[in-house]
Structure 1
């Protein structure tokens, strides 16, 4: 289904997710993180944001829902497995990252509140 033929609900969800990723990136940059990648798809998974601060590379899952509580509940086991698979593929393709600290964070966006950054929100499986 192309963007032009998507149902209105899907288009709205896509726009909400896109906006949430930009808000999350802005919030992280204000905290000193430098962007390395956005919407990276590898090995059947997607990483919303990849950022770096010092010797730490952070792989970020962004979740936007009507409330922050709903956003916090949106990262399930299947999502974590796919995310971890994509992270492992990214690390394999970027050997310079091997000596760095790697972390999986989440940024939750809900309502009209500022994005909530949750460092080390979950483990990267298989690393």
Structure 2
């Protein structure tokens, strides 16, 4: 009798999830570019956490969380209050490192990547500065 590992500890499952996440972020970045956004950072890592994409268009900088899910509801449910705090804390670090960002409108968007659909961007998905 072998021991079973938890799904979250299965290395093959983790690799597939990681690859899916990278693919979703690439699709989201291209969709943003095609709609006039410039990608400033991908996978921006800080001690507080990671932001999937940071993009700029005109006078707006968006901190973007990308979620690859089968449904819109599942994607939105995956952006938990804890992940919102992590993204907001990382965004504060970005603004501190790039003082000119303070002159832009800052917001938090979510891009949902679903199978066989164009990525859906939800502007101002949550508030964090205030």
TM-score over 0.5 (shorter chain) = yes
SS at match of 1:38: strand
Q: Higher Cα Rg: structure 1 or 2? A: 2
Which of 101, 107, 110 aligns to 2:105? It is 101
The 2-side partners of 1:77 and 1:10 are apart by 23
RMSD of the alignment, in Å?
Answer: 1.2
Contact 1:43–1:85 (8 Å) recurs in 2: no
Q: In 2, are the aligned partners of 1:24 and 1:115 still within 8 Å (CA)?
A: yes
Q: Measure the CA separation in 2 of the matches of 1:117 and 1:98.
A: 23
Aligned residue in 1 for 2:119 = 115
Pair 1:32 & 2:36 matched: yes
Match of 1:66 in 2: 70
Q: Distance in 2 between matches of 1:9 and 1:85?
A: 29
Consecutive unaligned residues in structure 1, runs of 5 or more: 1-5
Number of residues paired by the alignment? 121
Query: What secondary structure is seen at the aligned counterpart in 2 of 1:32?
Result: coil
Structure 2 residue 55 is matched with structure 1 residue 41: no
Aligned equivalents of 1:68, 1:117: Cα separation in 2 = 11
- Structure 2 unaligned spans of 5+: 1-9
Q: Per-residue deviation at 1:114?
A: 1.2
Offset at residue 73 of structure 1 (A): 1.2
